[in-house]
């Protein structure tokens, strides 16, 4: 599937994970489980998580930890694909 097709599929998805002040490390296991169940997951980064860096950086750091690719970041959300 191309990135454009993945972005189109992700458009109607709701964010099923939220990264808060405890950081992305706290949701990596859940993200891994969700990617195993469905290969496209949208994650929302709350203000507390974004205080030190931006969404693109946070998503790029999380992706290799769960063997996934970042399809898109937009605003406060990122879409991961495996």
Task: Quote the CA–CA distance of 62 and 47 in Å, as a whole number.
Answer: 17
Q: Is 65 left (phi over 0), alpha (psi -120 to 50) or beta?
A: alpha
Instruction: Give the confidence band of 1 by pLDDT, cuts at 50, 70, 90.
Output: confident
pLDDT tens, position by position, 22-32:
888 899 999 99
CB within 8 Å of 48: residues ≥ 6 apart = 20, 21
Model confidence pLDDT, tens digit, residues 34-62: 999 999 999 999 988 888 789 999 999 99
The alpha carbon torsion through 61, 68, 50, 53 (nearest 10 deg) reads 30
Task: Give the pairing type, strands 77-81 and 69-74.
Answer: antiparallel
Domains of the chain: 3-81 (3.30.110.60)
pTM of the model: 0.92
Tell me, what's the pLDDT at 79?
A: 97
């Amino acid at each position: 599937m191309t990135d454009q097709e993945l972005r189109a599929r992700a458009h109607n998805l709701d964010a099923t994970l939220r990264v808060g002040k405890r950081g992305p490390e706290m949701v990596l296991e859940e993200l891994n489980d969700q990617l195993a169940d469905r290969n496209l997951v949208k994650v929302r980064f709350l203000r507390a998580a974004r205080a030190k860096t931006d969404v693109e950086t946070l998503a790029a750091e999380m992706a290799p930890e769960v063997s996934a690719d970042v399809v898109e970041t937009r605003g406060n959300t990122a879409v991961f694909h495996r």
